[in-house]
Structure 1
Amino acid sequence: MGNRRDQIKRVAAGLFVEHGVAGTSVRDIAEGVGILSGSLYHHFPSKDAIAFAILSDFLTDLNARYRSVLPHVTGMREELRALVHSSIEVADAHAYATEIYQNEKTYHGPEAPAEIADAVREAHTFWIAAATKASACGELRAGLDPVEFARMLREGVWWSIRYHREHLAERCDEVTDTVVAAFVDGGAAPAARPDTGPPTDSRTITDRLDRIERQLEILANSLLTDS
């Protein structure tokens, strides 16, 4: 089951989402783990320290995953799909970390711990850079602000994770495909239409004139033969 510290974080994460950090006591966490409250303090000095560790570990792994996958993909769709898929996989490995961040203003407000705030900003830069590059090279639909597009896509991923939390592992690819289809494909610049010649109506008129001319030639040849 891994070490005791990891077990404490797993149990605490579930309680924090259900009751909030403020509504969860050290005794609640200790009872969930099956240890005495005093024993828990050997691993963490407080419940707030547990919440901090949950988010810090998640963000560290998230940014590491982003850095490792992006060099191996090219183009807007593949880069953003890699970010979406990586986010879901890391969120599954760190159960409820995203929900705790969403729920607890202490960690995403102006008073957020510097380490958490810096890690979040770093994570955002990957999304913004991918969207900005796509905008610059014409892959992103004209008129879409790349920073706002990146924010909406990123937030869509985190709320999708929250909605599918209980079955996230088995639905990772499905959720990824749905998010990419809704946001990325919908935001892609329209493909250039190939030159298919004159409009259908013009071709129809031209074809009819050609047939008439051929019929006239046949009729003229027939008249000459008869004479």
Structure 2
Amino acid sequence: MGNRRDQIKSVAAQLFVENGVAGTSVRDIAEGVGMLSGSLYHHFPSKDAIAFAILSDFLIDLNSRYRSVLPHVNGMREELRALVHSSIEIAEAHPYATEIYQNEKSYHGPGAPGEIADAVRAAHTFWIDAATRASTCGELRAGLDPVEFARMLRESVWWSIRYHRDHLAERRDEVTDTVVAAFVDGGAAPDLRGGVGPGSADRTIADRLDRIERRLEELSNALINET
């Protein structure tokens, strides 16, 4: 039954992203799995229960991965890189879960199920705590709000996962490197960036961002050419 449940969730996840939860019927899911609608109810009581299970499984694994990797790294760059890389790995293992959460207001709005909302808050706390530690010890650039910095970094990761969904496994390291270079290195205090004189840190950031922008353009063109 466990394998059948996983198959149902896998098919439903893609349908939910393509058509929305409201626009997907139990029959659509059942046909995608190759079973009768009535048989699907032996595994899940409703399509909403399937969506809940997809998100709950994803968030449980995400928080578990965060808890397992963070004790083994130190410093802003290592901690945030571990969070970025772990997020991409878990998103690979749970395709479309992030997109479902982003698309469905019922799961990220005021009326979100308590279990989902609690798990999301727990996940956010890992990012905020890492950025706050970096700010407290002077690793984060002065003047940056650690909470806002953590939010922007975290959201850039989920956007990147969505953008690179079809090639995520092959480009996991590229996406990680780009996000880390743009946000983590860019947000580091000047003396941690290797600057050697007045204004050198800002020039280093500008050069790095120019390179990142060119790289993103190359990746975008590559994706267009592959479609």
Identical aligned residues as a percent:
87
Find the aligned partners of 2:57 and 2:105 in 1 and give their Cα distance: 18
Find the aligned partners of 2:162 and 2:35 in 1 and give their Cα distance: 29
Find the aligned partners of 2:138 and 2:13 in 1 and give their Cα distance: 42
C-alpha distance after superposition, 1:46-95 (max 9, x if no partner): 00000000000000000000000000000000000000000000001000
Report the alpha carbon displacement of residue 170 of structure 1 after superposing the two structures with TM: 1.1
SS at match of 2:79: helix
| Aligned residue type for 1:91 | A
Alignment correspondent of 1:213: none
Alignment correspondent of 1:14: 14
**1:73-222 alignment to 2 at 5 Å?**
73-191=73-191
Counting matched residue pairs gives: 195
Report the alpha carbon displacement of residue 195 of structure 1 after superposing the two structures with TM: 8.7
| Aligned residue type for 1:189 | A
Larger Rg: 1
Unaligned runs of 5+ in 2: 198-227
Normalized against structure 1, the TM-score is what? 0.84
SS at match of 2:17: helix
| Aligned residue type for 1:31 | E
Report the alpha carbon displacement of residue 191 of structure 1 after superposing the two structures with TM: 1.5
Find the aligned partners of 1:169 and 1:55 in 2 and give their Cα distance: 20
CA RMSD of aligned residues (A): 1.4
Alignment correspondent of 1:55: 55
SS at match of 2:190: coil
Alignment correspondent of 1:216: none
| Aligned residue type for 2:78 | E
| 1:64 paired to 2:31 | no
Find the aligned partners of 2:66 and 2:100 in 1 and give their Cα distance: 21
| Aligned residue type for 2:53 | A
> Runs in 1 of length 4+ with deviation above 4 angstroms?
192-196
Find the aligned partners of 1:66 and 1:120 in 2 and give their Cα distance: 12
Normalized against structure 2, the TM-score is what? 0.84
Find the aligned partners of 2:76 and 2:143 in 1 and give their Cα distance: 16
Unaligned runs of 5+ in 1: 197-227
Alignment correspondent of 2:26: 26
| Aligned residue type for 1:150 | A
Find the aligned partners of 2:34 and 2:103 in 1 and give their Cα distance: 26
| Aligned residue type for 2:47 | K
